[in-house]
Amino acid sequence: MKIALVQQANTADREANLARSLKAIGEAATAGARLVVLQELHTGLYFCQTEDTDVFDQAEPIPGPSTQALSEAAAKHGVVIVGSLFERRAAGLYHNTAVVLDADGRLAGTYRKMHIPDDPGYYEKFYFTPGDLGFEPVDTAVGRLGVLVCWDQWFPEAARLMALAGAELLIYPTAIGWNPEDPEDEQARQREAWITIQRAHAVANGLPVVSVNRTGFEADPSGVTAGSRFWGSSFVCGPQGEFLAQAPTDQETVLVAEVDMARAEQVRRIWPYLRDRRIDAYQDLLRRYRD
């Protein structure tokens, strides 16, 4: 199966961002992709660099305008689309939510981001309520998709639970970048850690992994920090963590990779981690910490 990742640099013009995403979906379909994955919060700037109540005006219901546009694109091109939206569930209740549109345009499912960061430049707890839908894969025309979002990608528990629920592919829409003031060696370590942890999820679960990140520089509206330079580097890897395709750090691109969806079965036969798990000995994983 061909999978396309849309790595994009965003502006404050939300309609233009969505239009460019839709154009990229068409390009991906022309290239033969059956699944197209967009980056985290792809309709706008990454607004979590600051805390601003006016930003909540950008949130929208699901279904809503963006899901309608993605639905029409999915049906038009006959592709499955994974999008990422700022969901307004109710007044004062908002989520960072991934949506999955099936190849016939139907809203196949949603995933609300479970792990919410709160770090300088990533003040997501101000905006997003932690997800309450659990780690449930979404069934589509191209298979059972284990969709997670950005900060989720650092947690092996999330990947494992998606795998245990039958996910055939792990997908991570992402918005992560460098502090431009960090030294180059620290920037390199952060990017490599981000790549390594996700490749490890592929290996540990015997599943392909798709990670799509934004690129470009976005200023801090408050001027408190030096802003964020998103490091792109979107990639697809196979069930042994092998790279199948990787995008550059600093360019917009529609990255297309071919994934052998049957290969996970073969890999799991020679590396049977699910068989050898000691589920009788993992009780302490439900504790915050062993004092």
- Exactly one of 48, 87, 124, 150 is catalytic; which is it? 150
Q: Which amino acid is it at 255?
A: L
Residue 113 annotated as catalytic: yes
Q: Residues with Cβ < 8 Å from 264, sequence gap 6 or more?
A: 168, 206, 207, 208, 239
Residue 150 annotated as catalytic: yes
Instruction: Determine contact, residues 38/212, Cβ cutoff 8 Å.
Output: yes
- Exactly one of 113, 124, 168, 218 is catalytic; which is it? 113
Is the dihedral angle over the CA atoms 215, 217, 222, 223 positive or is it negative? positive
Which residues partner with 257 through β-bridges? 3
DSSP 33-88: -SEEEEPTTTTS--GGGS--GGGGGG-B-SSSHHHHHHHHHHHHHT-EEEEEEEEE
Edge-to-edge strands, sheet with 2-7 = 107-112, 93-101, 80-90, 35-38, 2-7, 253-258
Residue 40 annotated as catalytic: yes
- Exactly one of 40, 124, 168, 218 is catalytic; which is it? 40
Instruction: Determine contact, residues 169/137, Cβ cutoff 8 Å.
Output: no
Q: Please tell me what DSSP assigns to residue 285.
A: G
Catalytic (active-site) positions:
40, 113, 150
